[in-house]
Amino acid sequence: MSAAQPTFDDVWRMFQETDRRFQETERLLKEKSLETDRKFQETERLLKEKFQETDRLFKDQAEETKRVEELFKSQWGRLMESLVEGDLVNILKRRGIAVLDTSTRLKGRASAGGNYEFDIIAYNGEEVVVTEVKTTLKPKDVKHFVGKLDHFKAWLPRYTHHRIYGAIAYLTADAGAESMAENRGLFVIRATGDSASIINAEDFRPRGW
């Protein structure tokens, strides 16, 4: 006996069932895709927040490190200035400049705009020795200091009739910086241990401004 042939209704029901399953599968895939996309977005958000938090922590740490470094440099600079100032009158006297007194951190505002600052001023009635103090002396420091000396009398008219000399003191120096300072007519002062000394040759003659 041969099997009964499917009727049109049978074929139509099979088609409808297959179509339903396709739609169901498509719906499930779509939901799965949406869920996967949501998880990706959530992961991306969490990673972005974590990155921002890490970046903030790095910036905070960098700012704190910079603050500590600046504080250290400031305190170390003051210690250097104190050391040099303590010996400055005596070592200048041995070079024939009889200064009587010193002052530190002379600050002001130039008439043409901008601020100026000089680390140590040693003076008497006729002469002034302006001293710049550097932990590490670099050639650019020498150039900058000479530029400041060129404006010294304009910035501080009360010293117009004084003879101005320049001195640059340091703890360590880049190669050639000391020679450059001496060639520009500056006293070169080396701070060592608990004292300071002028290292220019005995026959050195400072430039006057």
Query: pLDDT digit string (tens) for 129-156?
Result: 999 999 899 999 999 999 999 999 999 9
Higher pLDDT pick, 15 / 25: 25
**Residue 158 maps to a domain:** yes
Q: SS3 for 192?
A: strand
User: pLDDT category, 48, cuts 50, 70, 90?
Assistant: confident
pLDDT at 82 over 70: yes
Most confident of 15-19, 82-86, 157-161: 157-161
Higher pLDDT pick, 37 / 96: 96
- The model's pTM is 0.65
Task: Report residue 15 as tokens.
Answer: 């088609």
**Residue 12 maps to a domain:** no
Higher pLDDT pick, 175 / 127: 127
Q: Which residues contact 103 (CB under 8 A, 6 or more apart)?
A: 120, 121, 123
pLDDT at 68: 53
Number of domains within the chain: 1
| Sign of the alpha-carbon dihedral angle for 159, 165, 168, 169 | negative
CATH number for 90? 3.40.1350.10
100-134: b or e for each residue (b if 16 or more CB lie within 10 Å)?
eebeeeeeeeeeeeeeeebbbbbbeeebbbbbbbb
Alpha-carbon Rg of the chain, whole angstroms?
39
User: pLDDT category, 2, cuts 50, 70, 90?
Assistant: low
Mean pLDDT of all residues belonging to the chain: 86
- The C-alpha atoms of residue 184 and residue 169 are separated, in whole angstroms, by 14
**Residue 86 maps to a domain:** yes
**Residue 7 maps to a domain:** no
* Average pLDDT of the segment spanning 79-95: 90
Evaluate whether 182 touches 203 at the Cβ level (below 8 Å): no
Of the candidates 91, 114, 115, 116, the residue with the CA atom closest to the CA atom of residue 102:
91
* Average pLDDT of the segment spanning 171-188: 95
Host domain of residue 97: 78-198
pLDDT at 1 over 70: no
**Residue 56 maps to a domain:** no
User: pLDDT category, 181, cuts 50, 70, 90?
Assistant: very high
- The C-alpha atoms of residue 88 and residue 101 are separated, in whole angstroms, by 9
**Residue 150 maps to a domain:** yes
Higher pLDDT pick, 100 / 150: 150
pLDDT at 94 over 90: yes
